[in-house]
Structure 1
């Protein structure tokens, strides 16, 4: 992004991590480039200088470059326009006019988590009437039952630790953890009664936190705020439950006595990505978001005619020069031999999250289960999609009102964690569910009722979860356990 401001400040030099702004750009009729007033130019120049100064400070020292990408604010607090910002479209237009094209990850992050206009921070995306998608736990409670059985057998194989934490990343409405705990608590009471369980929910949305509390807790158990700024309550099973904004607030138990059982279901697919295209043997250019009026939405709305209602104002363009993020593909041998012209997507956030998850495993206990859709044998190339009213649309359509998702790079998750944990999978969802016994459970439920309409619903839910043509093949299960662990059920 810093390189992209050449369109406003053309002579920039970069050497030994020192940036210098030189010489004013050409101007005509009192306007720089014939378009921008002196005030607009000076505002942009000050913001860029401040960002450069901050970035210079942050990239010095012993840091992993991936941890520093996007740490400086890509957006100014105010733009040159005096008009009121009432939605993300205005916000992005104003920003791009002031600072030039923005990174795709910055665009996605604002679309999903902007405090006033973000998709996840301003609504319940899983609302059956107004939501844009439905997840496996919402389709059938049997899905969560199977995961509850998996965690129970894993707990048994690890000598039944008496203290444990269930940690869910991106828990949605709380349906999955509810179904897991229903099964887990039922099974655990039959074999051991003195187990202490704590629930930790990694959830940034206040809207979804309240939905989770309503489902998991009795109304008499207050939804409180702690001194650290967390929320807390007590579940209907009498488990302490805490809500945190990020995984950084989770404190690792140094004694190794507390087993962490981590759940990640459709979490990684919503993380911001960076997109690159290979220009030559050793050069990668970042694809950044530009603003142009009436760019045709190639995806449109499935099943409807193309209309101007689905034209979009933003699109990807190739950065004319290398950006600071261009270093990311160069750091991995995985991308070195890809042919010129190859386009790839990289999710730095996913790498940080999966490493945090695996670090929460103890020497002899704990488990991570990642369930998501994505690729196993290839690098994601052009998977960014928008989901609006249960249909695919352009990811640049109605910023903030459209859910964004990408294919998870399971190959990279495995590569990052295989030296630190015992990796099992990724395995197709249909295969995993059948291995763990979903067929027997569905047969039991169908035989438990004589109502044919209920039987049909049970069977249709089962087919939707397991069929290759539906969710059975595209969704994957990946498990990370302590080194030396035996293969768990399901795999």
Structure 2
């Protein structure tokens, strides 16, 4: 027990030291921002308020970790955690085992930590171990999989942007979370066809940001042909050549992108932000408290709020050992809503969802834009003119289920906070990045000309009514307000001085 205590205190000391160091670094960065006036709306008073709150929080954490008595005096009387088992130790074969043992040892864990492990655990994560879009065993279907027209419209859009920016001779398409590669396939096929007609030489490079080896292989099969091998570089990345002759490279994270000033980056993020881990908070009488994941067998979870054809009480996939619980004390993340003016006036009892990772990824996308060159297209479902409250959902075999059932086997997602993305882009770029949208997917597709393309396809299949019905059904699904056309939004970010793009 003494050795356990020493190991635990050393762990807590390292955690506290890292927390304090990171906080000081953050404060110093913010102070530098003030001195350099990088963010016009960040005042010295706001800095001082933030520093006060952070110092108070660190003092409380220090006090809680150190305690008020000598813990050694209780050796022998306090139970060890976890209690030693007389049988052989439990093996961690699933994420359920991992979470159950972790929570038993440390207490409830942050929702963001739970989601991150469920989705990207190297051996048991949802996206790293399977093809979620597989036609037979997949759990959901996306717009590009419904109709190739979706990707065609994006290809048309990028071609018009390329022309409006002076037809740069070197461009790179970068896709964050490319799925099976269907959207990139349809976009490239259309873009390359227009480039060939324009007779303007252009060097096109493709970068796929994909952590899943399973999906990388699927993307390669679709985008390339057999004569172009799936190679591994000395850096550990993968590369090949598309069937249109474009160089293509796979990297694990956005940090692996090697950029240069001569390249115009055209960035695609379709259903990417909705899969990022979120944190959930509720405003109590004592202030903001984080919602944590607890382990309690046979708890009926009512987290999902989206409509489902099956009553919750009759669906076994809503019966789960894990559920959300409100932290009794402040957590380090509690400062996120506490410091933001956006949440300051929310009433007690309010609940919000915040995605810290969204800012990191959006900042990288913005950094890839050059003066008057490049564009970011974000396509996702989410909310506008409001704050996500309770949108976390699980999707399993094309049905909504509890996000806490079958960890690692269920897709998890939450509504994208489009207002936050717009605010981040404005603050980070000091007005040098212009946003257009968000607009409804159906409106964007119609503005691009999807109606003309659908009419063309229907006329080409006059002899086959079944095919015509499928084409029209896919069109309605993509554009109707009560289907994907109203739920999904399009938001684009472009450098200052670019022409207003079509579709918005």
Question: TM-score normalised to the size of structure 1?
Answer: 0.86
Are 1:52 and 2:57 counterparts? no
2:159 and 2:194 in contact (8 A); partners too: yes
Higher mean alpha-carbon deviation, 185-194 vs 207-216, is at 185-194
In 2: Cα distance, 1:390 partner to 1:44 partner: 43
State the match for 1:379 in structure 2.
Answer: 387
Higher fraction of helix: 2
What's the offset of the Cα at 1:303?
2.7
Q: Could you list the per-position Cα deviations for residues 293-328 of structure 1 after superposition, in whole angstroms to 9, with x for gaps in the alignment?
A: 111133798436625564211111111111111111
Aligned length: 440
Output aligned runs, 1:63-462, within 5 Å. 63=29, 82-253=89-260, 255=261, 257-280=262-285, 283-298=287-302, 302-303=309-310, 306=314, 310-418=318-426, 419-449=431-461, 450-462=463-475
1:386 and 1:395 in contact (8 A); partners too: yes
2:119 and 2:408 in contact (8 A); partners too: yes
What's the offset of the Cα at 1:373?
0.2
CA 307–484 in structure 1, closer or farther in 2 if over 3 Å, else same: closer
Question: TM-score normalised to the size of structure 2?
Answer: 0.84
What's the offset of the Cα at 1:51?
2.7
CA 96–38 in structure 1, closer or farther in 2 if over 3 Å, else same: farther
1:80 and 1:94 in contact (8 A); partners too: no
In 1: Cα distance, 2:166 partner to 2:283 partner: 50
What's the offset of the Cα at 1:54?
3.2
What's the offset of the Cα at 1:161?
0.1
Higher mean alpha-carbon deviation, 282-291 vs 390-399, is at 282-291
Q: Could you list the per-position Cα deviations for residues 317-367 of structure 1 after superposition, in whole angstroms to 9, with x for gaps in the alignment?
A: 111111111111123211111112111110010111111111211111100
What's the offset of the Cα at 1:39?
7.3
3-state SS, counterpart of residue 172 of structure 2: strand
What's the offset of the Cα at 1:452?
0.3
Q: Structure 1 unaligned runs (5+)?
A: 1-36, 66-77
2:127 and 2:212 in contact (8 A); partners too: yes
In 1: Cα distance, 2:212 partner to 2:121 partner: 10
In 2: Cα distance, 1:397 partner to 1:413 partner: 30
Q: Structure 2 unaligned runs (5+)?
A: 31-49, 51-80
2:384 and 2:418 in contact (8 A); partners too: yes
